[in-house]
């Protein structure tokens, strides 16, 4: 169920996504919240970091664990502009994040119900609640615009 603050925290995740876009990364952003306060944030940076695991969720989890001085992020909520992939879903469950709220659904790689549901099939002793579709239009429009602009630019082969 959506709470009144979900949209506000998703707007903050969108701000992080814009940072990723400014760095020519896929515009996905995340914020980690504890007791209605943002404790960490992150945005996609696998290209700049030369790290395939540097997704927005992972960046926010790492920063949150450092900030809270614990690897167990119980009682936190992670807001992310795109449905988590399988890698991120597994990391969120391992971190014991209580709740994940995402914006746009990802029919190609979404692991919170679109392509598969890692959160529901997890057999561990911790459950993560997942809620999708918060500011889905804004989150999806940012991603669509990013990829449309990339397709418009001719690549090196087109310049020959």
Which listed residue (21, 57, 59, 83) is catalytic?
57
* Contact partners, residue 100, CB within 8 Å, separation at least 6: 77, 78, 80, 84, 92, 112, 119, 128, 129, 130, 131
Residue 152 among the catalytic residues:
no
Distance separating alpha carbons of residues 81 and 139, to the nearest angstrom: 6
Query: Other CB atoms closer than 10 Å to residue 159's CB: what's the count?
Result: 6
Active site residues: 57
């Amino acid at each position: 169920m959506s709470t009144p603050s979900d949209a506000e925290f998703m707007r903050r995740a969108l701000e992080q996504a814009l940072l990723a876009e400014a760095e020519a990364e896929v515009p996905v952003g995340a914020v980690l919240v504890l007791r209605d306060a943002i404790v960490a944030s992150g945005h996609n940076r696998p290209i700049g970091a030369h790290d395939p695991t540097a997704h927005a969720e992972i960046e926010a989890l790492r920063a949150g664990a450092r900030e809270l001085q614990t690897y167990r992020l119980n009682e936190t909520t992670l807001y992310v502009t795109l449905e988590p992939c399988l890698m991120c879903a597994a990391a969120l469950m391992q971190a014991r994040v209580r709740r994940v709220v995402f914006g746009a659904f990802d029919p190609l790689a979404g692991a919170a119900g679109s392509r598969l549901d890692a959160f529901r099939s997890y057999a561990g002793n911790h459950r993560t609640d997942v809620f999708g579709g918060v500011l889905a239009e804004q989150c999806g429009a940012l991603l669509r615009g990013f990829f449309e602009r990339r397709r418009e630019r001719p690549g090196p082969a087109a310049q020959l």
